[in-house]
Copies of this chain bind each other. A is one copy, B any other.
Amino acid sequence: MNNKLKIGIIGLGTVGQGVYKVLKNFDDIEIVSCAVKNLNKKREVEVNNLTDDVMSIAKNPDVDVVVEVAGGIGVFDALKEAIKNGKHIVTANKELLARHGAELFDLAKKYNTAILYEAAVAGGIPIILPIKTSLAANKFSKVAGILNGTTNYILTKMEEENLSYEDCLAKAQKLGYAETDPTGDVEGFDAMYKIAILANIVFDKRIDVNKIYREGITKISAQDIKIADELGYKIKLIAQAKTFNDDENTLDIRVHPMLVDKNNSISDIRNATNAVMLNGFPVDKVMFVGPGAGEFPTASSVVGDILAIKAENHRKDDVLPMMGCKHESYANQISIEETKNCYYLRIKADNTPGEIGKIGTACGEYKINLSCIIQRELDTKGDATIIVITEKCLEKDMNSMITSIEKDSKTKVLNKIRVM
Q: Which residues of A contact B (CB under 8 A)?
A: 18, 22, 118, 124-126, 128-130, 133-138, 265, 268, 280-291, 294-297, 299-301, 303-308, 311-312, 315, 321-322
Counting every copy of the chain, the complex holds: 2
Q: Which residue of B lies closest to A139 (CB)?
A: B25
Q: Does the CB pair B284–A291 fall under 8 Å?
A: yes
Tell me whether A118 and B137 are in contact (CB under 8 A): no
Give the distance in Å from the alpha carbon of A312 to the alpha carbon of B310 in the complex.
16
- The reply to whether B265 and A300 contact each other, CB–CB distance below 8 Å, is no
Closest Cβ of chain B to A294, distance in Å, is 7
Max chain B CB contacts within 10 Å: which of A288, A291, A295? A288
Question: Which single member of B126, B283, B294 contacts A130 (CB below 8 Å)?
Answer: B126
- Does A290 contact B285, Cβ atoms closer than 8 Å? yes
**Across-interface contacts of A304 in B (CB, < 8 A):** 133-137
Interface centre among A135, A268, A307 (most CB of B within 10 A): A135
The interface centre, meaning the residue of A286, A289, A304 with most chain B CB atoms within 10 A of its CB, is A286
B286 x A289 contact (CB < 8 A):
yes
Cβ-defined partner of A125 (8 Å) among B18, B129, B286: B286
Q: Who on chain B is nearest to A281 by CB?
A: B296
Residues of B close to A287: CB separation below 8 A: 288-290
Contact B124 A286 (CB under 8 A): yes
> B286 and A290: CB pair below 8 A?
yes
Q: Which B residues touch A18, using CB under 8 A?
A: 282
Contacts of A280 in B (CB 8 A): 300
Q: Top 3 A-B pairs ranked by shortest CB distance?
A: A126-B134, A282-B296, A286-B290
Interchain CA distance A312-B311 in the complex, whole Å: 13
Cα distance, A268 to B289, chains bound together (Å) = 13
The answer on a CB contact under 8 Å between A307 and B124 is no
Does A284 lie within 8 Å of B294, measured CB to CB?
Answer: yes
Partner of A311, one of B124, B306, B321: B321
CB distance from A13 to the nearest CB of B (A): 16
Q: Which of B126, B281, B284 contacts A135 (CB 8 A)?
A: B126
Are A290 and B300 in touch, CB under 8 angstroms?
A: no
